[in-house]
Structure 1
Amino acid sequence: MTAPRLPRRALLALGAGAVIAPAVARAQTISAVSAPFEVRPLWPGAAPGGEAVTVQEQVVLRNPNGDPNDTAFVHVRDPWIMLRRPTRPNGAAILMIPGGGYQRVAVSKAGGPIDARLAEMGYTVFVMDYRLPGDGWAAGPAVALQDAQRAIRIVRSRAVELGFDPNRVAVAGFSAGGHVAGMLTTRFAQDAYAPIDAIDRLPTRPDFAGLMFPVVTLMPPYAHGPSARALVGADPSEAARSVWSIERHVPADSPPVFIASAADDRVVPVENSLMLWQALRARTLPSELHVFEQGGHGLVQTDSSSAPAWMSLFDAFLKRARSPKV
């Protein structure tokens, strides 16, 4: 493939274990984001392939009595992308993809501490919402990949305007969002949707990828059950599982990949990260794996006043890694 070069609760919210609160009515009153955030739709009109979709989108509180910005999006019909601008841009951008086990997207239009810290480091940060495979979209398991490809194209389309290098665009995925980011990192040679405008002429290959406590494989015994069921059903064939197992489809021109997980993760087994790193290593691709002894799902550290340990390591990786020409 030749392509143009171009605090604890918040951490857990990025993961696959987000719980939908019953207070839907209250959650739907959450107001739109205020400055300095900017939220735009991913698609200029209706998202593609929605002719058979009948579900109604909901915004819910993850805790009925908690922070009103601690939200999850369910039955997503109108995915969006949020921008957080850095005070001192460093010339690079990061597209963040949150998790939710493919049951929901644990994200807020008001941002969170992770995108805030990345912006403090100088990154122009985009956070995306995405559609879910169980809601009847024509693309089925590839529907989130459609949104991710559209999102990274939107990011690159704004490089000149926002003052970052379109050849220094990273994707950072968390939990099931790590699976979406992993697909974006390995399936850029395949357009997941038909082009609809000039933005869709831009490349979808990230220059770098960061996968934090990611869902990677759909193969037993290490598959994350909810994600696997959402993607391929309750009783899939081995072939169906294999198609959506990222470690089995790593191309020779994948970008540099940073992986961080905890050995005591009881939601997504750390073997997911090990399997992907081994697949990258077999291809002699630039990659870095960090396995923390503790941290669970979310890589939660006891000192919530400081930046997560993985963040400084990821920052250092992005500064020294070089994305090979493709």
Structure 2
Amino acid sequence: MTLIDRRTLLAGAAATAALAPAAMAQSFPIPQGFERIPIWPGKAPGGEHVTVQEVETLRRPDSGPDDGVFAHIVTPTLTILRPQAVGSRSNGAAMMLIPGGGYSRVAIGHEGYSIARRFAQAGYVCFVLLYRLPGDGWAAGPEAPLQDAQRALRLIRSFAPRERFDPDRIGVIGFSAGGHLAAWLTTRTAESYSPVDAADREPVKAAVAAYMYPVIQMEGPFAHTGSRTQLLGPDPTPERMHAYSLDQNVSDTAPPAFLAHALNDKVVPFQNSVAMLSALKARNIPAECHLFETGGHGFGITAQAEASAPWPDLFLAFAKRHGA
């Protein structure tokens, strides 16, 4: 694997800056201690008709340089943070982090870098996934993010000897629409792409998963319509919405799952987490769900509300009980 040049990653960003009015497109350095690698050898699959140009902007006008968001991803990556980079010792395990963004962008800073620092301090080798988006013309359509997630998890498992962690002690944490992708990755078993190299001999398997204020349902009154439109288009059939609702067809092989949601979330209703909890328990999958009084949507690692602040400690205890 080789490091990606940031100029290559963001080439042509200025041409698409208008798509993210909160900030001018610019090149942000990878935060100190992190390393970035592509997940596919060569170009990502199914991009013959993709014409978008990748762009990184600030999540908000007042955001710092570490609080970037990507849109129109053409080079899916993993950004790695090792415990040693934050002055900690490895605990022999790893975490794959899947930021959200409504399937229209990826909030790599807020739900990637900041979360990675917290879990690297706890001893985990952390991998932040930057994944392709379904509306950008990829041949796989709504399956393009899943292709990247499955490939990334296999790649992380293949790194275990080099990075000195146990491949059977990998956790997956997803946030908002990234929570939908994390649940898709960990609770269903269908293959989304053909093998490309030796890493694809690894199983798509995690020891534990966390779905944070997740988009789960694509049908009914609690669906997040923005994510659904990005994933399935403006007028999906009832059958299609049902098929992509992740409280349906949960595999018996799904890993133990941790869920957390704020009751005052006005973007993705907490009923999404409740529905997923019910689906997991119906399959006798170990699960734990925390419904916080306050926190709103996208609380991440910041203490937006005192009630939701302790979720990392709660998840770490859950992961430890279940072998991650």
User: Shorter-chain-normalised TM-score: which range?
Assistant: 0.7 to 0.9
Match of residue 36, structure 1, among 33, 37, 42: 33
Distance in 1 (CA, whole Å) between partners of 2:162 and 2:123 is 16
Q: 1:196 to 1:271 in 2, by over 3 A?
A: same
Cα distance in 2, alignment partners of residues 48 and 79 from structure 1: 11
8 Å CA contact 2:292, 2:308 repeated in 1? no
Contact 1:27 1:68 in 2 (8 A): no
1:80-119 matches, cutoff 5 A: 80-86=77-83, 87-108=88-109, 112-119=113-120
Aligned to 1:179: 180
Output the TM-score relative to the length of structure 1.
0.87
Residue type matched to 1:139 in 2? A
Superposition deviation, residue 68 in structure 1: 2.0
What pairs with 1:219-234 in structure 2 (closer than 5 Å)? 219-234=219-234
Query: Between the two proteins, what is the percent identity of the paired residues?
Result: 48
- One-letter code aligned to 1:283: R
Asked whether the 8 Å contact 1:92–1:165 carries over to 2, the reply is yes
Inter-partner Cα distance in structure 2 for 1:210 and 1:29: 31
Q: Which residue of 1 aligns with 2:167?
A: 166
Q: Distance in 2 between matches of 1:120 and 1:80?
A: 22
* Amino acid in the other structure paired with 1:186: T
Aligned position for 1:12: none
Between the two proteins, the alignment pairs up a number of residues equal to: 300
Whether 1:271 aligns to 2:268 is no
Q: Note if contact 1:215-1:272 (Cα within 8 Å) is conserved in structure 2.
A: yes
Deviations 1:235-260 (A, max 9, x none): 21110001111000201111111101
Counterpart of 2:45 (choices 36, 48, 63) is 48
Partners in 1 of 2:228 and 2:201 — Cα distance?
32
| Other-structure match for 1:9 | none
Give the unaligned 5+ runs of structure 1: 1-19
Segments of 4+ moved more than 4 angstroms: none
The 3 A distance-change label for structure 1 pair 294 and 34 is closer
1:58-69 correspondence runs (5 A): 58-69=55-66
Q: Deviations over 1:139-173 (max 9, x none)?
A: 11111000001111111111111111100011000
Is residue 207–residue 256 contact of structure 2 (8 Å, CA) maintained in 1? yes
Using the alignment, how far apart are the partners of 2:110 and 2:249 within structure 1?
33
- Report the CA distance shift for 1:319/1:270 in structure 2 as closer, same or farther (over 3 A): same
In 1: Cα distance, 2:142 partner to 2:269 partner: 22
- Residue 205 of structure 2: aligned partner: 205
After superposition, where does 1:1-326 map in structure 2 within 5 Å? 21-22=20-21, 26-31=24-29, 33=30, 35-86=32-83, 87-108=88-109, 112-187=113-188, 189-299=189-299, 301-302=303-304, 308-322=309-323
Root-mean-square deviation (CA), in Å?
2.1
Q: Which stretches in structure 2 are left out of the alignment for 5+ residues?
A: 1-18
In structure 1, what is the Cα distance between the partners aligned to 2:110 and 2:75?
Answer: 13
Equivalent pair of 1:34/1:110 in contact (CA under 8 Å): no
Q: Following the alignment from structure 2 to structure 1, what is the Cα–Cα distance between the partners of residues 102 and 294? A: 21
Q: Is the 8 A contact 2:172 2:182 kept in 1?
A: yes
